[in-house]
Amino acid sequence: MIGWPIGHSRSPLIHNYWLRQHGIAGEYRAEAVPPDAFPEFLKSLTHRHYVGANVTLPHKEAALRLSLPDDRAEAVGAADTLWFEGGALRSTNTDVEGFLANLDAAAAGWDRTSDAVVLGAGGSARAVVFGLRERGIARIHLVNRTAERAVALRTRFGEQVDPASAAELPGLLAQAGLLVNTTSLGMRGQPPLVIDLAPLSTGAVVCDLVYAPLETQLLAAARARGHATADGLGMLLHQAVRGFSLWYGTKPSVTRELRALIEADLAKT
């Protein structure tokens, strides 16, 4: 994992767990690399015996420019996973996969709906919207504090994206089979997410990308109303699967033991 700063990353815990589990002699390290040293660092990956890397803030856009991105990274406008293929440094965005695989695991059949409501229009919303489009969700209603950013996502991803206002939420929730929070609201240290779930139909699925706290107020309220839910930690764990598969040629599993390991680590902070 390459970042600046790098301190709080859980990726080493996840990947080193899988390396041990699969008996692979390797190590996943965190590398603190400042932005001006990032291009040189990427060039030296092989020399440093790395088979690939994850990148986090502030390097995701630079990683995209300095590699050969796949469709997902290109569409999202940010790369978080790098690997070598036929001598080329390739990149992808694994948030899309993490988001979809987490929903599949937590609420199979969630994609039978035609309407989804997405709160937020930042970096993670781009991955979420791309994933929802990939799964054929016909209408993606996007509600964001800064309306222009929601409009920008429509320009980027097309007509399926419907920028909407908070005042429209009750009507939109009534039609939606999926509600996703991609804002940082509800995160520890941030203001709460205030939303009335009453208009949601009983079969609707609620997903929160925030994973600290593990059970956000949104997820607690959704569970209390009987909705199926998918949490941010699930997405974090599922997004790591692709990188490991690309680097080591074997697909790891998101086990209960791994989840407990990361939960324990999150509880320390």
The residues annotated with a catalytic role in the active site are 60
Q: In whole angstroms, what is the distance from residue 79 CA to residue 90 CA? A: 9
Binding range to ligand NDP, per CB under 6 A, among 8-16, 58-66, 118-126, 158-166:
118-126
Among 63, 96, 210, 262, interactor with ligand NDP by CB under 6 A:
210
Could you tell me which residues come within 8 angstroms of residue 202 by beta carbon, excluding any fewer than 6 positions away? 225, 226, 227
Nearer to ligand NDP, 28 or 211 (CB): 211
Position of minimal CB gap to ligand NDP? 122
Candidates 38, 50, 211, 247: give the one binding ligand NDP (CB under 6 A). 211
Nearest distance from residue 230's CB to ligand NDP, in Å? 10
Among 5, 35, 58, 122, binds ligand NDP (CB under 6 A): 122
If you compute the radius of gyration of the chain from its CA atoms, what whole number of angstroms results?
A: 19
Interface with ligand NDP (CB under 6 A), residue from 3, 52, 123, 243: 123
Nearer to ligand NDP, 52 or 163 (CB): 163
Compose the 132-171 pattern: x for residues touching ligand NDP by CB under 6 A, - for all others: ------------xxx--x----------------------
Q: Does the protein bind ligand NDP through residue 216 (CB under 6 A)?
A: no
When asked if residue 121 is in the footprint of ligand NDP (CB under 6 A), the reply is yes
Q: Is 218 exposed, middle or buried (0-12, 13-18, 19+ CB in 10 A)?
A: buried
Binding to ligand NDP (CB under 6 A): which residues in 171-200? 182-185, 187, 191
Residues in CB range of 152: below 8 A, 6 or more apart = 121
CB of 233 to ligand NDP, least distance (A): 7
- Strand ranges of the sheet holding 228-230, from the earlier edge strand across to the other edge: 161-164, 139-143, 115-119, 178-181, 205-208, 228-230
CB of 88 to ligand NDP, least distance (A): 26
Amino acid identity, position 236: L
Helix extents (H) in 66-190 = 71-76, 94-106, 123-134, 147-157, 169-175
Does 93 bind ligand NDP (CB under 6 A)? Our answer is no
SS3 15: helix
Q: Three-state SS for 206?
A: strand
Give the CA distances from residue 18 to residues 13, 108, 176, 251, in Å, rounded to whole numbers and listed in that order. Answer: 9, 25, 37, 10
Q: What six digits make up the tokens of 267?
A: 């509880």
Asked whether position 98 contacts ligand NDP by CB under 6 A, the answer is yes
* Contact residues: ligand NDP, CB under 6 A: 95, 98, 120-125, 144-146, 149, 182-185, 187, 191, 209-211, 232, 235-236, 239
